[in-house]
Amino acid sequence: MANSRENFDEIIKRNLNLEQLKIFNRIYYGREDHCEVKLKESTMTSSKDNNFEVSAYSFTAAKEGRKPRIVKLGLVQHSIVLTTDKPIKEQRDAVFNKIEKIIETAASEGVNIICLQETWPMPFFLCTGEKEEWAGFAESASEGPSTKFLSNLAKKFNMVIVSPILEDDNGTWWNTAVVIDENGRYLGKHRKNHLPSVGSFSETSFYAPGDTGHPVFETKFARIAVNICYGRHHALNWMMFALNGADVVFNPSATVAEFGESFWGIEARNAAIANSYFTCSINRVGTEKFTRKDGSEVSRSFYGSSYATAPNGCRTPSLSRDKDGLLIIEVDINLCRQAKDIWGFNMTSRLDMYAKELN
């Protein structure tokens, strides 16, 4: 019997024999073998001691005239640590401690670029409908506590870090992903373009729709972009990052089962195929409980299931639905160009025709 916390990949693996599994993997994941990468003993120890799951897969490209461009990407999903009634600084510091250990482990595996989940240093308090109580979590993109904390780690580990936070810019809030380069310098930011106003996800009353367009950040390791959470439902949002040259697009999210868990494995994967780049889908885990000022209670449970897709459509299995996790993918960036050459989606895109109709 399937237990409701188990993810799809586990259920399939448990129920098929080896031959069936190969067929399933070929059709569903795009390849028979997941191409798992062996992790260090010390990584397994850290994962056990610090209670997070870790797995790694590779996506190779065909041999060609150019040298392989191998990059290791890390995706992190995690729960909050303290209950949401604790002082804000304590809550944030507790998450910092947890994340530091995961980033250290990723660094020991040679991860070059890591991305955290949407508004990673805080509980996703928007479901309370309250704002002032939580203002302490809003911070400056370039020099807030999260950027300072991660800048030190980025420099120490020669790692690019994508840090999705709640940004406070002179009293206006934004849902923002900060990009920190491998020297620990603030490289830039992207503000969430599409804000949900669906059910208990009503973000429009908290912050403004993004005004940063579709930036692609030229890092030492790859050209990266960030499509924040609800932006994954918008095909054109994904497309614009491709037009601006992204090799990898991260999708840091905070989403719950009632809100389209069945879309989760489709949208970012489709974007990777349609746009010939890698996509990295990251979702929070755990249940977050809140007591409002009037004493009423509200809670949200996130389903994790972070995964990655290559430009040829092959994907990794997901991380767990309820545990902290680090997913590492070793990719050859040449695969982006190879997928473009095979499929010609760029060449056949007819953007001029759409531009006329949209006008």
Ligand X SMILES: NC(=O)NCCC(=O)O
Residues classed as catalytic: 118, 192, 229
Distance CA 151, CA 186 (A): 8
**What is the spatial distance between Cα 275 and Cα 340, in angstroms, rounded to a whole number?**
8
Our CB check for ligand X shows the closer of 201 and 278 to be 201
Tell me the closest approach of the beta carbon of residue 159 to ligand X, in angstroms.
Answer: 25
Give me the least distance between CB of 218 and ligand X, in Å please: 27
Q: Does 260 bind ligand X (CB under 6 A)?
A: yes
Q: How far apart are CA 249 and CA 276, in angstroms?
A: 11
Closer residue to ligand X (CB): 120 or 157:
120
Q: Is 255 in the site for ligand X (CB under 6 A)?
A: yes
**Which of 116, 224, 254, 285 contacts ligand X by CB under 6 A?**
254
Report how many residues bind ligand X under the rule CB under 6 A.
10
- Least separation, in Å, of the C-beta of 230 and ligand X? 3
CB of 328 to ligand X, least distance (A): 24
Closest distance of CB 150 from ligand X, Å: 21
Q: Rounded CA gap, 116 and 250, in Å? A: 9
Residue 220 tokens, joined: 């030492």
Q: Is 288 an interacting residue with respect to ligand X (CB under 6 A)?
A: no
The residues in 90-129 that bind ligand X, with binding defined as CB under 6 A, are: 118
Among candidate residues 268, 264, 270, 265, the one with its CA nearest the CA of residue 280? 268
Q: What are the C-alpha distances in Å from 4 to residues 10, 263, 299, 303, 321? A: 11, 18, 18, 11, 9
3-state secondary structure of 218: strand
Q: Which two tokens stand for residue 246?
A: 């992204």
252 contacts ligand X (rule: CB under 6 A): no
State how far the Cα of 160 lies from the Cα of 355, in Å rounded to an integer: 35
Torsion of CA 207, 199, 279, 319, to 10 degrees: 120
Q: Which of 80, 114, 229, 319 binds ligand X (CB under 6 A)?
A: 229
Longest CA–CA separation in the chain, Å: 66
Per-residue exposure over 147-178, b if at least 16 CB sit within 10 Å of its own CB, e if not: bebbbebbbebebbbbbbbbbbbeeebbbbbb
Determine the interface stretch with ligand X among 239-247, 248-256, 295-303, 349-357 (rule: CB under 6 A).
248-256
Rule CB under 6 A: which of 190-209 touch ligand X? 196, 201
The smaller minimum CB distance to ligand X, of residues 236 and 351, is found at 236
Q: Which is nearer to ligand X, 35 or 298 (CB)?
A: 298
The residue (of 187 and 195) whose beta carbon lies closer to ligand X is 195
Q: How far apart are CA 326 and CA 111, in angstroms?
A: 11
Which of 149, 230, 290, 307 touches ligand X (CB under 6 A)? 230
E strands of 50-182, at which residues?
Answer: 53-59, 70-77, 113-115, 160-169, 172-180
**Does residue 259 touch ligand X according to CB under 6 A?**
yes
Q: In this chain, which stretch among 9-17, 52-60, 251-259, 319-327 interacts with ligand X, using CB under 6 A?
A: 251-259
Residue closest to 178 by CA, chosen among 150, 204, 205, 157: 150
Phi, psi angles (nearest 5°) of residue 167: -95, 135
Considering the complex, state which of residue 126 and residue 329 has its C-beta at the smaller distance from ligand X.
Answer: 126
Question: Does residue number 167 form part of the binding site for ligand X (CB under 6 A)?
Answer: no
Rounded to a whole number of angstroms, the minimum distance from the CB of residue 254 to ligand X is 4
Q: Does the protein bind ligand X through residue 77 (CB under 6 A)?
A: no
Nearer to ligand X (CB atom), residue 234 or residue 289: 234
| Interacting residues toward ligand X by CB under 6 A | 118, 196, 201, 229-230, 253-255, 259-260
